[in-house]
C-alpha cells in the first residue's frame, strides 16, 4: 500500500484554535503515510510532487475551504495531466463550506481515525465524484465577485469566525440598509467588468454580485446555484445588477433553495465564462480573496474523488 499524504495548514482558523491537533494527526497516521505542515503556499508544489512520486493514493487536507483550493491548484499545476489521488477533507476550517454542501460530516480526528482504519484493513473507500471550477490556473468549488468577496472581507474583519460571525454581517447589512449607511454600500460595491457566457455578452458592465459554483451551498445554508449538477462537465454561473434593497428582502428564498426570478438576474449552466475587468477587481475562490486587472477565463475543472467517511 502506497500511503496517505496529509497537508496540515496551521494557519487555518479552525487549526489556530487547537494548535496541538497536529501531533494527534501524526500519531493516528503513523506508518500509513506522512503529515506535512505547510506554512507558505510556495511549499505546496514540491510537496505535491513528492506525494505523487511516492505513489500516495490518498491526499488529505486539514484546513478550511481555502486550504483545499490551494492544495488542489498546486497539485493540478505541478503535475499537469496526472490524476489526483482520492481527496479527504479533514475539516480544519471554521466554515468548511464544501464538506457541508456535500454532507461530509465529522470532526478532524474522527475522520482521520476512520480513514486510517479503512485504509489499513483494505476496505474500499466510498467516494463522491465532484467536479471543480477552473479560473485560469486556479481551481476550486465556488467563486464570485461583487458581494461574495466584499462579504468575506467584512466577515474576516470581525473579532471571531464561524457561522455566528456570518450572520452578524448579514444583520449589520440589513440595519445599514435601513439608513443607507456605508456598510451596505461597501458590501454591494459592484464588480466592473465585461462578462461573456459562452458567446453571449451580458449587457450591463457593473454587477452587484456574480457566482460560479460546482457545489450547491455557499455557506450558512444559502443555495444560490441549485443547478450545478444539471449537466455533466458544466457549472452554474449567475450574475445580477440588483440593488441591496432588491436582494436583502428576498434573502430567505436562498435558504430554501429557491431561485430569484428577475430580469436583472442572469443564470446559466455553462462550461465557459470570460470576465474582463474594467478596473481592479476583487474576487474570491473558496474563501481566498484575490485582486486582478487581467481577464479571467472560467471553465469546468477536472472531476475529483472526495472520500466520504
Measured from the Cβ of residue 37, the count of other Cβ atoms closer than 10 Å reads 15
Residues 121 and 211 occupy one common structural domain: no
The length of the chain is 309
257 versus 70: the higher-pLDDT residue is 70
pTM, to two decimals: 0.94
Q: Which of 79, 94, 125 is the last residue of a domain?
A: 125
What grid cell was written down for 139? 481551481
Mean pLDDT over each residue of the chain, to the nearest integer: 94
Residues 54 and 191 occupy one common structural domain: no
Check which CATH number belongs to the domain holding 278 and give it: 2.60.200.40
What's the rounded Cα separation, in Å, for the pair 116 and 112? Answer: 6
261 versus 87: the higher-pLDDT residue is 87
Residue ranges making up the domain that contains 237: 140-301
The pLDDT score that the predictor gives to residue 35 is 97
The pLDDT score that the predictor gives to residue 240 is 97
The pLDDT score that the predictor gives to residue 68 is 98
Residues 159 and 52 occupy one common structural domain: no
* 130 in a structural domain: no
The pLDDT score that the predictor gives to residue 1 is 53
Check which CATH number belongs to the domain holding 101 and give it: 3.40.50.10330
What's the rounded Cα separation, in Å, for the pair 141 and 57? Answer: 22
Helix (H) or strand (E) holding 60: strand 58-62
Residues 118 and 178 occupy one common structural domain: no
Residues 160 and 271 occupy one common structural domain: yes
Measured from the Cβ of residue 194, the count of other Cβ atoms closer than 10 Å reads 14
Q: Provide mean pLDDT across the span 194-217.
A: 96
What's the rounded Cα separation, in Å, for the pair 5 and 218? Answer: 27
The pLDDT score that the predictor gives to residue 45 is 98
* 182 in a structural domain: yes
The DSSP-derived string for 247-303 is HGGGHHHHHTT-----TTEEEEEESEEEEEESS-EEEEETTEEEEESS-EEEEEEEE
Residue 127 has pLDDT above 70, yes or no: yes
Q: Are 89 and 99 in contact (CB under 8 A)?
A: yes
The pLDDT score that the predictor gives to residue 80 is 95
Residues 159 and 297 occupy one common structural domain: yes
The pLDDT score that the predictor gives to residue 163 is 84
CA 115 to chain centre: 23
**Which residue is associated with the grid cell 470532526?**
107
What's the rounded Cα separation, in Å, for the pair 141 and 186? Answer: 25
What's the rounded Cα separation, in Å, for the pair 170 and 144? Answer: 17
Query: What are the tens digits of pLDDT across the range 53-103?
Result: 999 999 999 999 999 999 999 999 999 999 999 999 999 988 899 999 999
Number of structural domains (the chain) is 2
Write the CA distances from 74 to 50, 71, 123, 141, 191, integer angstroms: 12, 5, 29, 15, 27
* 264 in a structural domain: yes
**Which residue is associated with the grid cell 465556488?**
142
Amino acid at each position: 500500500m502506497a500511503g496517505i499524504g496529509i497537508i496540515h495548514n496551521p494557519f487555518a482558523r479552525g487549526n489556530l484554535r487547537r494548535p496541538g491537533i497536529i501531533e494527534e494527526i501524526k500519531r493516528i497516521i503513523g506508518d500509513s503515510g506522512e503529515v506535512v505542515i505547510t506554512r507558505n503556499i510556495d511549499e505546496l508544489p514540491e510537496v505535491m510532487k513528492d506525494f505523487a512520486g511516492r505513489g500516495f493514493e490518498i491526499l488529505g487536507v486539514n484546513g478550511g475551504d481555502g486550504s483545499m483550493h490551494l492544495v488542489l491548484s498546486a497539485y493540478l499545476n505541478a503535475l499537469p495531466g496526472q490524476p489526483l489521488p482520492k481527496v479527504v477533507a479533514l475539516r480544519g476550517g471554521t466554515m468548511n463550506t464544501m464538506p457541508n454542501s456535500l454532507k461530509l460530516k465529522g470532526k478532524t480526528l474522527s475522520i482521520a481515525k476512520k480513514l486510517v482504519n479503512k485504509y489499513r484493513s483494505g476496505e474500499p473507500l466510498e467516494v463522491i465524484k465532484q467536479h471543480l471550477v477552473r479560473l485560469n490556473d486556479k481551481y476550486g468549488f465556488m467563486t464570485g465577485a461583487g458581494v461574495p468577496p466584499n462579504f468575506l472581507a467584512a466577515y474576516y474583519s470581525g473579532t471571531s469566525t464561524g457561522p455566528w460571525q456570518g450572520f452578524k454581517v448579514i444583520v449589520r447589512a440589513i440595519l445599514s440598509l435601513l439608513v443607507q449607511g456605508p456598510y451596505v454600500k461597501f458590501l454591494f460595491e459592484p464588480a466592473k467588468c465585461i462578462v461573456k457566457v459562452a458567446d453571449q455578452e451580458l449587457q450591463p458592465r457593473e454587477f452587484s454580485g456574480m457566482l460560479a459554483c460546482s457545489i450547491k451551498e455557499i455557506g450558512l445554508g444559502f443555495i444560490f446555484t441549485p443547478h450545478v449538477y444539471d449537466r455533466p462537465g458544466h457549472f452554474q454561473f449567475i450574475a445580477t445588477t440588483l440593488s441591496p434593497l432588491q436582494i436583502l428582502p428576498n434573502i430567505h428564498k436562498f435558504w430554501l433553495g429557491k431561485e430569484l426570478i428577475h430580469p436583472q438576474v442572469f443564470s446559466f449552466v455553462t462550461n465557459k465564462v470570460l470576465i474582463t475587468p474594467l478596473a481592479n477587481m476583487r474576487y474570491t475562490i473558496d474563501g481566498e480573496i484575490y485582486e486582478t486587472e487581467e481577464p479571467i477565463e472560467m471553465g469546468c475543472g477536472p472531476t475529483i474523488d472526495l472520500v466520504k467517511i
